[in-house]
């Protein structure tokens, strides 16, 4: 069923381990909703309120997922850890880095809640401080109830996504 769904449907479900949710947060997507009160648009970061929870109203539909045009100088990397093919991820990260414009976004998904934007890891990626990235990711996720093994997994996945984006 997942392979025949739409991006909007996947985002409406807001499964924390789904690929589209993490990718759209990394790409700064806007969600356009339409309902009896008209049309409204919001950033995906505001749309997803938690695991399987969104800001969609009871009579609203997702009309569009709007992704801004990306610069030609932008590069991206993705890493995903899955035990079996076809299953949801245990951890995933997407890094979108544009050294020419000095912008970066690093998102870790497949968490207990919504995917998380990691601004500290993005700044470290721009500064070529790959040695610091894992520690920064650990500290940015430290407020969550992750085991040390989960923190290690998420920090490794983020580092690999950043390295792919920088190649």
Contact 66, 30 (CB under 8 A): yes
pLDDT of residue 130: 78
Is residue 159 domain-shared with residue 82, that is, in the same domain?
A: yes
Clarify whether residues 8 and 47 are in a common domain: yes
Backbone phi and psi for residue 144, each to the nearest 5 degrees, phi listed first:
-85, 165
Q: Give the domain range for residue 133.
A: 75-166
Query: For 28-57, how does the pLDDT look when each residue is reduced to its tens digit (9 = 90+)?
Result: 999 999 999 999 999 999 999 988 999 999
Residue 6 makes CB contacts below 8 A (sequence gap 6+) with: none
* Residue 151: Cβ within 10 Å count: 17
| Total domains present in the chain | 2
Whether 100 and 79 map to the same domain: the answer is yes
Asked whether the beta carbons of 66 and 88 are under 8 A apart, the reply is no
pLDDT for residue 1 is more than 50: no
Against a cut of 0.75, is the pTM above it?
A: yes
Distance of alpha carbon 21 from alpha carbon 109, whole angstroms:
8
| Pair 51, 16: CB distance under 8 Å | yes
Cβ neighbourhood burial of 105 (10 Å; 0-12, 13-18, 19+)? buried
pLDDT digits 0-9 by tens, 116-163: 999 999 999 988 887 788 889 888 888 777 888 999 999 999 999 999
Is 102 found in the same domain as 38?
Answer: no
Give the end of a domain, one of 66, 89, 109: 66
The 10 Å Cβ neighbour count of residue 68 is: 9
CATH number for the domain harbouring residue 132: 3.30.390.50
């Amino acid at each position: 069923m997942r392979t025949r769904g739409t991006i909007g449907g996947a985002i409406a479900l807001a499964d924390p381990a789904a690929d589209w949710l993490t990718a759209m947060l990394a790409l700064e997507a806007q969600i356009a909703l339409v309902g009896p009160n008209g049309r409204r648009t919001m950033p995906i970061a505001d749309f997803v309120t938690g695991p399987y929870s969104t800001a969609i109203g009871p009579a609203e539909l997702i009309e569009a997922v709007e992704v801004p045009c990306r610069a030609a100088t932008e590069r991206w990397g993705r890493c995903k850890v899955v035990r079996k093919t076809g299953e949801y991820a245990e951890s995933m990260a997407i890094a979108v880095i544009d050294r020419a414009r000095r912008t970066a976004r690093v998102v870790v998904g497949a968490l207990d809640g919504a995917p998380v934007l990691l601004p500290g890891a993005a700044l470290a990626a721009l500064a070529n401080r790959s040695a610091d990235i894992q520690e920064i990711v650990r500290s940015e996720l430290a407020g969550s109830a992750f085991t040390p093994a989960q923190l290690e997994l998420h920090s490794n996945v983020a580092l690999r996504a950043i390295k792919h984006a920088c190649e």
